[in-house]
Amino acid sequence: MAIIKAVTITILTFGAITMIIPFIWSIITALKSTENIFSHSAFWIQFPPDFSSFAEVWNRVPILRYAANTLKVALIVTAGQLLTSSMAGYAFAKLKFPGRDKLFLFYLATMMVPGTVLLIPNFVVMGFLGAVDTHWALILSAIGSTYGTFLMRQFFLTFPSELEDAAKLDGCNPLTFYWRILLPNAKPILTTLGLMAFQFIWNDFQWPLIVLNSESKRTLQVGLSYLTSEYYTDWNLLMASSIFTILPIIILFFIVQKQFVQSFKLSGLKG
């Protein structure tokens, strides 16, 4: 048993180091002065560290604007997705109406459609709506989610029907029941779905790359991607910019770690 444990820890440590080294090395690089990037070996660490690459990125790149754009879109999408998904999930789970189960099956089927197929037609639809190169293009297509609906429905199905009957006797209509009783009792699943949506929008790249043109509208990821053609091999600046985009989501991760883990487990339901 002791041998197994030792082998386990060795493998896990080796793996964990492989996972962490790229991050460490990007921090080490970001703290080097430009003239020291190529003149020293990779293992050399500059001391005292030079923070000027962070300052330079901060001053030369509208990183605050990119972050504000991303945050705005991510917050609106998260709120919208929580509202529409929980409403639809409630209807699919608890309200009876003709065609309900057929419609739900149809929803499940659409989850099989790969995103690649939707990119081109969605771009055209955004063109019809006049939403290309606006943040509406990022918001509209994301505020209704079949996956979120599925998740909320599964959760609401487990909701005790006694509460529902009691509420009905007290004269609650479905709207007041949904708003006053169902939502306050669904906080864990709402947090989980919210984190998933937020994280997805924060890190999304291909769709914003396609629909946004103006520099002032770029999200963090798109802005970061364009930097590669500007900074080319100024690795300290590129690493500093990467750290700027990763840091907020890592901080968020440590604050709500438990829910994050839950959201990834649940994303296993997808497909």
Partner 1 sequence: MDIALTLKKARKASTFSKTKTKEAIWGYLFITPNFLIVLVFTIFPVFFSLYMSTTDWNILSQPNFIGLENYQKILGDSIARQTLFNTFYFTVVSVPLNVAFTLVLAVLLNQKIRGITVFRTAYYLPVISASVAVSLMFMWILANNGLANQMLTSIGLQPVRWLTDPKIALNSVIGVTIWRGLGLNMIIFLAALQDIPHELIEAAAIDGANAVQRFIKVIVPLISPVIFFVTITSVIGSFQSFDLVYNMTKGGPGRATTVIGYYIWQQAFNYLHMGYGAALAYVVFAAILILTLIQWVLRKRWVYSEE
Q: Which of residues 66-85 bind partner 1 (CB under 8 A)?
A: 83-85
Which of 45, 95, 163, 166 contacts partner 1 by CB under 8 A? 95
> Considering the rule CB under 8 A, would residue 183 count as an interface residue with partner 1?
no
Question: Using CA atoms, how far apart are residues 154 and 82, in angstroms rounded to an integer?
Answer: 14
> Considering the rule CB under 8 A, would residue 155 count as an interface residue with partner 1?
no
CA distances, 9 to each of 1, 13, 16, 19 (Å): 12, 6, 10, 15
> Considering the rule CB under 8 A, would residue 33 count as an interface residue with partner 1?
no
Roughly how many angstroms between the first and final C-alpha of the chain, as a whole number?
Answer: 39
> Considering the rule CB under 8 A, would residue 180 count as an interface residue with partner 1?
no
- Tell me if residue 114 falls in helix, strand or coil: coil
Binding mask of the shown chain, residues 217 to 246, with x at each position contacting partner 1 by CB under 8 A: ---xx--xx--x----x-x--xx-xxx-xx
Question: Using CA atoms, how far apart are residues 167 and 108, in angstroms rounded to an integer?
Answer: 30
Nearest to 196 by CA among 253, 138, 260, 114: 260
Which of 135, 178, 197, 212 contacts partner 1 by CB under 8 A? 178
Q: Give least dist CB 47 to partner 1, A.
A: 19
Q: Which stretch binds partner 1 (CB under 8 A): 61-69, 154-162, 184-192, 255-263?
A: 255-263
Smaller CB separation from partner 1, 115 or 184: 115
Q: Give long-range contacts, CB 8 A cutoff, 24+ apart: 235-239.
A: 235/29, 235/37, 236/29, 236/30, 236/31, 236/32, 236/33, 236/34, 236/37, 236/53, 237/34, 237/53, 237/56, 237/57, 239/26, 239/27, 239/29, 239/30, 239/53
Which of 54, 66, 92, 156 contacts partner 1 by CB under 8 A? 92
> Considering the rule CB under 8 A, would residue 6 count as an interface residue with partner 1?
no
Phi, psi of 166 (to 5 degrees): -60, -45
Binding mask of the shown chain, residues 116 to 145, with x at each position contacting partner 1 by CB under 8 A: xxxxxxxxxx--------------xx-xxx
Q: Which stretch binds partner 1 (CB under 8 A): 52-60, 103-111, 157-165, 183-191?
A: 103-111
Which of 174, 183, 185, 191 contacts partner 1 by CB under 8 A? 174
